[in-house]
Structure 1
């Protein structure tokens, strides 16, 4: 097991005086892990704790596995923490599959043990063949590089880290270790069935690949480590891409950025940034997100239509409005029609909280954008403030003929979702005087002969 010690030191999995929880089921991999850590305990000055879970899926047989591990721990003088969980009931509660439910309950218990004993590490007996199976399954299920990573050698968990010191070995080496050290592991008969996808890979795919490359486990572990290193770098660079974005709310929140600025970066960074956004908004990227969603997103960026949207799982909506891209869980507000009568000396409030006021007299000069001045003799009072209507047209200052309000919105690149509630000011006869903040109509300044009227818009 010299390879394991080299692997531990290379990845800095252990330090002196660490308290390590060993996840032991009684099978050959975890039994070898238990025995191996007893051999290195003195060298590293480790404190060991055994944790074991009966998932309640094999009746008395799995209970006996738990009792067997407990007896070994007692015989070898190591503290033991064990439990029995009801995976079947949890499956019904959550709708999870058997393996997913068992894993969640197992990890929940192991986290609790770590916290109770104040452990630094949680060690698993996963080996290189497990790693190869995991990566092959990931490749089969997903075309996204982010999904192909294998099991990490170490990762944060509970109050410490998960470590996998046996990823440098294959299954045969662990079985030989058990034989050489007179260990008597218990075997789970479900591992011999083809019902679960992993078992099918284990029994049918891996033997063929190992016949081509006997060191497949080393090859796949090296690949996993390189993937991890390169992904870390790319994600770091993708994080720089997202400096252009407004991100708020974390899980369930929203993200907004400029399409033009986003597309200036290489496609590989755009892809990684896309997945960082999803991880941010979902808490962690969910299984329902697939390669197809990625393709849909990049098609949305390149689409000729200035306004478009996508529906992603769990209510996430991706909206393109000209150059603005928004990811949000918030449903679009209802397009509420409004129409207010506006008299001199009064103001009206709009659905978004902004106001428009009307005053008489004063300087005929007006500020650009949010002020409009007209002559009272050329308009009919009171004025009307409303949202747009189909067929709206207006005569623009300095223009002969009229122009559709719809075309003005398109020219000004106003997002489609904003057009329905954009304020329009007309006189009492329906003449459009002002498309607020965008365009001003005639309604006034040729040969003024009446009182000046001043409209002001405030956000």
Structure 2
């Protein structure tokens, strides 16, 4: 427990009063994580929630795991959220490998439940052995520093991994000492997945024949790569801000002339950075796809290239245009509670909506706001305030109009291309649209009677 506390303090994982969603699969690592956080809750004044997702891969065994986690939550009198999601169907629908599909669904589940419960942190049970396995897997597939940095202790200041410096054997010893029972996932014992083979075959071989401390060495490598990757990411961020002619939700334009002095190493990062912002949790372009993009830039002729997740790269008129939704893939429907105040991430589009309640006396002049900002009369917001994608038949009463019109007509009149419309977030009050990014609704406009307003801003994350 002392080692975990040291890790928590080292990486500033919790603030006083945090609401923490703990992902509990039922295995030794997640059970130990929950138990340690339960013991630490008074030190940090934490409010804990347990969540568990049945991926529906393992039939009765998985249902038994869910029941076991529910009983654990009852034993410690902790609220629990347990759901079944048909990941095999999702995997087939999106043509994804099983583990990739499971991860996408699981992390969306974490984000949604955390938003519903008002949790500012999601605690996960990854440990040092998981880190070593990840480094080896990424090394074998030829990853660069982004892959060799492994699993981050803290990601997005939201996902935290308090056990990341603890060994699996230490975690199992803790469970034994504390008399904690746990579940065994039979799929972890089958040498059919790459991770299982690395854990069961490769690491024991390396420990026996090459380096008894290989797990510690790989974790040290991850720490070094994490610092170097952070440095390179900051350089790429600065370069992108310098060269981008236009950046918005679902669209980035880069001047070809500005790219000539950028090294291939930095340009690869810039392209991947743009992709992450647009695609959120979706699959990243692989090495060959990034290299094809570099070849497109080197050539003298215009051209285009399709990337995963419906992202299209077009080279024309002295620019590289990167457009989300340009390659024919449909954006999934999404709907999230709007965190007021706070941040609401939309992983499907790679953007985030920041919200803040302001007194009208200190609010900015609505006439000075950019298209990604808005002020709404806070008192007029009723029902659940949410952010979602557009739907067929949506109606909208834009600011300054005499009444409602079809949202589709609003987009057509504003000459918004069809491929971009799904990527414009809608903020709703009850069932009514209060804000279409770029235009508030008439019912929520600022008037002389307005005392408090809700400030909204779209940012790329």
Q: Which category of TM-score, normalised to the shorter sequence, fits these structures?
A: 0.5 to 0.7
Say if 1:311 and 1:179 are closer, same or farther in 2 by CA, change over 3 A.
same
Say if 1:5 and 1:295 are closer, same or farther in 2 by CA, change over 3 A.
same
Return the match for 1:168 from 165, 187, 199.
165
CA-to-aligned-CA distance 1:341-360 (integer Å, 9 cap, x gap): xxxxxxxxxxxxxxxxxxxx
CA distance in 2, matches of 1:43, 1:182: 23
**Is residue 275 of structure 1 aligned with residue 272 of structure 2?**
yes
Tell me the residue number matched to 1:192.
189
Say if 1:288 and 1:85 are closer, same or farther in 2 by CA, change over 3 A.
closer
Instruction: Give the deviation of 1:165 after TM superposition.
Output: 0.6
Does the 8 Å CA contact 1:167/1:221 hold for their aligned counterparts? no
Identify unmatched segments of 5+ residues in structure 2: 327-461
Relative to structure 2, which stretch is displaced further, 126-135 or 75-84?
75-84
The equivalences for 1:246-265 within 5 A come to 246-251=245-250, 253-259=251-257, 261-265=258-262
CA-to-aligned-CA distance 1:347-376 (integer Å, 9 cap, x gap): xxxxxxxxxxxxxxxxxxxxxxxxxxxxxx
Instruction: Give the aligned length.
Output: 321
Equivalent position SS for 1:7: helix
The equivalences for 1:360-371 within 5 A come to none
Tell me the residue number matched to 2:217.
219
Equivalent position SS for 1:247: strand
CA-to-aligned-CA distance 1:248-305 (integer Å, 9 cap, x gap): 4442x3423134x42324443233223334445x4349646222233334445555xx
Does the 8 Å CA contact 1:241/1:262 hold for their aligned counterparts? no
CA distance in 2, matches of 1:301, 1:239: 20
The equivalences for 1:147-186 within 5 A come to 147-156=147-156, 161-186=158-183
Instruction: Give the deviation of 1:87 after TM superposition.
Output: 2.3
Say if 1:272 and 1:86 are closer, same or farther in 2 by CA, change over 3 A.
closer
Say if 1:315 and 1:124 are closer, same or farther in 2 by CA, change over 3 A.
closer
Identify unmatched segments of 5+ residues in structure 1: 332-459
Say if 1:117 and 1:277 are closer, same or farther in 2 by CA, change over 3 A.
closer
The equivalences for 1:354-365 within 5 A come to none
The equivalences for 1:294-313 within 5 A come to 294-302=290-298, 306-307=300-301, 309=303, 311-313=305-307
RMSD across aligned positions (CA): 2.7
CA distance in 2, matches of 1:93, 1:273: 30
Does the 8 Å CA contact 1:52/1:83 hold for their aligned counterparts? yes
CA distance in 1, matches of 2:35, 2:48: 11
CA distance in 2, matches of 1:311, 1:70: 48
CA-to-aligned-CA distance 1:401-450 (integer Å, 9 cap, x gap): xxxxxxxxxxxxxxxxxxxxxxxxxxxxxxxxxxxxxxxxxxxxxxxxxx
CA-to-aligned-CA distance 1:150-203 (integer Å, 9 cap, x gap): 2211123xxx71110101011111111111222111101111001112111111
Does the 8 Å CA contact 1:128/1:220 hold for their aligned counterparts? no
Tell me the residue number matched to 2:45.
45
Tell me the residue number matched to 2:287.
291
CA distance in 1, matches of 2:140, 2:55: 28
Instruction: Give the deviation of 1:25 after TM superposition.
Output: 1.4
Tell me the residue number matched to 1:413.
none
**Is residue 316 of structure 1 aligned with residue 299 of structure 2?**
no
Tell me the residue number matched to 2:449.
none
Q: TM-score, normalised by structure 1?
A: 0.63
Equivalent position SS for 1:316: strand
Relative to structure 2, which stretch is displaced further, 292-301 or 177-186?
292-301
Say if 1:239 and 1:123 are closer, same or farther in 2 by CA, change over 3 A.
closer
Q: Which of structure 1's runs of 4+ aligned residues deviate more than 6 A?
A: none
CA distance in 1, matches of 2:286, 2:158: 29
Does the 8 Å CA contact 2:256/2:320 hold for their aligned counterparts? no
Say if 1:269 and 1:187 are closer, same or farther in 2 by CA, change over 3 A.
same
The equivalences for 1:371-450 within 5 A come to none
Equivalent position SS for 1:307: coil
Relative to structure 2, which stretch is displaced further, 236-245 or 185-194?
236-245
Instruction: Give the deviation of 1:238 after TM superposition.
Output: 2.1
